[in-house]
């Protein structure tokens, strides 16, 4: 068995090296004060940042995530004493270490950084885009590990903090972020300074900023102002999105039992955008072709797709933004939940669209994918940015949603909903794991959810159930057996010891 030992040793070493990319646990952020000054012509931006942190123990250094950042001046202040910090970069780990001469005591500290960064053309971090008229804009896309390209940060989901964001932009440009504008003043020079209200506690990947030529239409739902932004000349194409968001927000306010918590909701259509959409708190960004539609010419299928994406991203405002996974290995719960949830408000709003049939079709597609030998478990460990990015696949979205539909069917809609709401209330503005969610459902339903669900999320594949009946006199005996289903007949017929706890 020497070969197996060698393989296991290598895997353990690889895991240790990957885990070394995680930040050390010596400090936690409480607030970021961020000022961005984008230069759209030169493709650069200047940043001024103060991070208020709690040092958990005495130390002489603080580690942050940072990529493609040029540091100009860095100081750390504790107890009224300010020290200049030396910056040491580790590009492979995407980290910097800020070191000072005199040890910092445990307790509050302020890290002040002035720096410059790149408005890249990769559609990640804070990047540079163009509309169809060639007008440039800056936009953010931070999920999963790209906030560190826009500001030095504790760029892991468990490090939640509040944000005070300011944009200094050319006077003719619009600035949009997670919260409402609290001031918009002229200067410096031919620019204007836009300051946004303090956010709720959120993870680094959910901060957002868009600066460019944009216009909007607006409405409201349950007292929350809703705007749909587009590049110039397209705002009327946002009418359907506005109607959808209004209906969805009202539904979610009722379903979750927690009113939409972010004060305003902006939906922004971007011509250059890598993902379909991104659930930044209060500031959802979209690829414009799945937000804007000419209602006279657009197809019903495109309307359904736009509505589904909006509903998905709005579900994240509660499940993912307000309560966030502790680490990326549970991103499937965020994405699977939003995928499962997205059809509910649309079924109530537009029953003629038959989203329930789409759910059945999606489950069938998921089972097809899960019948392949190279599928993966829903819960998959990941440490490096590349490993994390690989988790955003059909398993995280489709299979996780199908498993949640199964669980809801087992518990009943209202019992399942009560478990969802108990989970949100318990972990509001904090972080949680999938086990926390199963525990909430177990306590609420009084059924063994915590025993059933690990068999569905921690092993790959899905079972096929064989049922045999035999009649004898006035009784019928039923024999059940299960085995993992494979498309490949040889794999299907080979011995396999996988078992699932099947909720009936």
Which helix or strand (DSSP H or E) is residue 342 part of?
helix 331-349
Q: For residue range 145-200, list pLDDT tens digits in order.
A: 999 999 999 999 999 999 999 999 999 999 999 999 999 999 999 999 999 999 99
Tens-digit pLDDT profile for residues 214-257: 999 999 999 999 999 999 999 999 999 999 999 999 999 999 99
pLDDT digits (tens, 9 = 90+) for 321-335: 999 999 999 999 899
Closest CA to 193 of 403, 428, 35, 386: 35
Task: Quickly state the pLDDT bin for 93 (edges 50, 70, 90).
Answer: very high
Check residue 4 and give its pLDDT. Answer: 28
Indicate if the pLDDT at residue 346 is higher than 90.
yes
**DSSP character at residue 24:** P
- Of 156, 279, 313, 408, the catalytic one is 313
Least confident of 2-11, 380-389, 466-475, 493-502: 2-11
CA distance 197 to 202: 14
Q: Is the pLDDT reported for residue 294 higher than 90?
A: yes
Mean pLDDT (the chain) is: 93
If you average pLDDT over residues 462-486, what whole number do you get?
91
The reported pLDDT for the residue numbered 472 is 86
Band (pLDDT 50/70/90 cuts) for residue 360 is confident
* Residue with more model confidence, 394 or 17: 394
pLDDT tier for residue 504 given thresholds of 50, 70 and 90? confident
The token pair at 79 is 């107890």
Long-range contacts formed by 459-467: CB under 8 A, 24+ apart:
459/377, 459/498, 459/500, 460/370, 460/375, 460/376, 460/377, 461/370, 461/371, 461/375, 461/485, 461/486, 461/498, 462/367, 462/370, 462/371, 462/500, 463/498, 463/499, 463/500, 463/502, 465/502
pLDDT reported for residue 271 = 95
Q: What pLDDT score was predicted for residue 13?
A: 35
The question of whether 313 is a catalytic residue gets the answer yes
- Give me the torsion for CA of 326, 327, 330, 336, rounded to 10°: 80
pLDDT reported for residue 295: 87
Cα separation, 408 vs 421, in Å, equals 14
The domain 323-457: what is its CATH number?
1.10.390.10
Q: What pLDDT sits at residue 20? A: 53
pLDDT at residue 147 in the model: 98
Residue 275: pLDDT band (50, 70, 90) is confident
Q: Read off the pLDDT of residues 44-88 as tens digits, 9 standing for 90 and up.
A: 999 999 999 999 999 999 999 999 999 999 999 999 999 999 999
Predicted local distance difference test score (pLDDT) of residue 473: 85
The domain segmentation of the chain, as residue ranges, is 323-457, 463-493
Q: What's the rounded Cα separation, in Å, for the pair 234 and 215?
A: 8
What is the tens place of the pLDDT at every residue in 15-33?
A: 334 445 899 999 999 999 9
> What pTM, to 2 d.p., does this model score?
0.92
In terms of phi and psi (left: phi > 0; alpha: psi -120 to 50; beta: otherwise), the region of 347 is alpha
- Is the predicted pLDDT of residue 210 greater than 50, yes or no? yes
């Amino acid at each position: 068995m020497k070969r197996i030992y060698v393989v296991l040793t290598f895997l353990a070493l690889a895991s240790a090296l990957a885990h070394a990319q995680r930040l050390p646990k010596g400090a936690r952020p409480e607030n970021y004060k961020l000022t961005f000054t984008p230069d759209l012509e030169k493709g650069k931006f200047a940043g001024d940042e103060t991070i208020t942190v709690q040092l958990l123990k005495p130390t002489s250094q603080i580690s942050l995530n940072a990529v493609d950042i040029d540091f100009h001046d860095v100081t750390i202040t504790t107890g009224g004493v300010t020290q200049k910090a030396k910056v040491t970069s580790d590009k492979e780990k995407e980290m910097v270490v800020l070191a000072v001469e005199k040890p910092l005591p445990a307790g509050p500290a302020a890290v002040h950084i002035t720096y410059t960064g790149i408005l890249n053309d990769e559609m990640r971090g804070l990047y540079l885009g163009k509309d169809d008229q060639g007008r440039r804009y800056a936009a953010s896309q931070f999920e999963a590990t790209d906030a560190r390209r826009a500001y030095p940060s504790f760029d892991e989901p468990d490090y939640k903090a509040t944000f005070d964001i300011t944009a200094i932009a050319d006077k003719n440009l619009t600035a949009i972020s997670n919260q409402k504008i609290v001031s918009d003043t002229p200067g410096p020079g031919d620019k204007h300074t836009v300051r946004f209200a303090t956010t709720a506690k959120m993870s680094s990947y959910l901060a957002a900023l868009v600066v460019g030529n944009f216009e909007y239409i607006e409405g409201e739902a349950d007292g929350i102002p809703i705007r749909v932004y587009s590049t110039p000349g397209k705002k009327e194409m946002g009418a359907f999105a506005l109607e959808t968001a209004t209906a969805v927000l009202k539904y979610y306010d009722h379903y979750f039992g927690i009113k939409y918590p972010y004060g305003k909701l902006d939906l922004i259509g971007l011509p250059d955008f890598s993902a379909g959409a991104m659930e930044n708190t209060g500031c959802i960004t979209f690829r414009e072709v799945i937000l804007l539609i000419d209602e006279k010419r657009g197809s019903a299928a495109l309307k359904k797709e736009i509505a589904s994406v909006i509903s998905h991203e709005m579900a994240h405002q509660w499940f993912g933004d307000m309560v966030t996974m502790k680490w990326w290995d549970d991103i499937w719960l965020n994405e699977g939940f939003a995928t499962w949830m997205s059809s509910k408000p649309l079924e109530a709003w537009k029953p003629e669209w038959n989203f329930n049939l789409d759910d059945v079709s999606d489950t069938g597609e998921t089972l097809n994918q899960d019948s392949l030998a190279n599928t993966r478990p829903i819960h998959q460990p990941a440490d490096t940015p590349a490993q994390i990015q690989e988790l955003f696949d059909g398993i995280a979205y489709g299979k996780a949603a199908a498993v949640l539909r199964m669980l809801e069917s087992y518990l009943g809609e209202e019992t399942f909903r009560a478990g969802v709401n108990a989970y949100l209330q318990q972990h509001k503005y904090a972080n949680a794991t999938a086990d926390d969610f199963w525990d909430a459902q177990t306590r609420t339903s009084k059924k063994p959810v915590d025993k059933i669900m690990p068999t569905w999320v921690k092993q790959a594949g899905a079972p096929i159930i064989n049922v045999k009946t035999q009649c004898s006199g006035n009784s019928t005996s039923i024999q059940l057996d299960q085995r993992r289903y494979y498309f490949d007949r040889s794999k299907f017929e080979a011995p396999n010891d996988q078992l699932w706890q099947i909720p009936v």
